[in-house]
Amino acid sequence: MDHLNQLNFEELKEYLDFKVEQYNTTKFIETDPIQLPHRFTKKEDIEIVSFLVSTIAWGKRPMIIRSGERLLEIMEHSPYEFIQNYSSKELAFVHRTFNNIDLDFFFRSLKNIYANGGLEKAFSPHPDFEGVKGRIINFRNQFLATEHEKRSEKHLSNPAKNSAAKRINMFVRWMVRKDNCGVDFGIWNSISPSELYLPLDVHTSNNARDLGFLTRKQNDWKALDEIMEALRKFDKNDPVKYDFALFGIGAFEK
Q: What is the pLDDT of residues 89-119, one digit of tens each?
A: 889 999 999 999 999 999 999 999 999 999 9
| Extents of the domains making up the chain | 1-30+198-254, 33-190
Q: Which residues of 109-128 are buried (b: 16+ CB within 10 A; e: fewer)?
A: bbbbbbeeeebbebbeebee
Contacts of 115 (CB under 8 A, 6+ apart): none
Handedness of CA 91, 92, 94, 97 (dihedral sign): positive
- Which residues, including other chains, have CB under 8 Å from residue 137's CB and lie 6 or more apart? 126, 129, 158, 159, 160
> Rounded to whole angstroms, how far apart are CA atoms 196 and 133?
9
Residue 216: CB atoms within 10 Å: 15
pLDDT per residue as tens digits for the range 12-64:
999 999 999 998 998 888 888 999 999 999 999 999 999 999 999 988 889 99
User: If DSSP codes are grouped into helix, strand and coil, which group holds residue 169?
Assistant: helix
Query: Given this model, what pLDDT does residue 2 score?
Result: 45
Q: What confidence score (pLDDT) does residue 3 get?
A: 47
User: Backbone phi, then psi, for 118, in 5-degree steps?
Assistant: 100, 175
In single-letter form, the type of residue at position 149 comes to: E
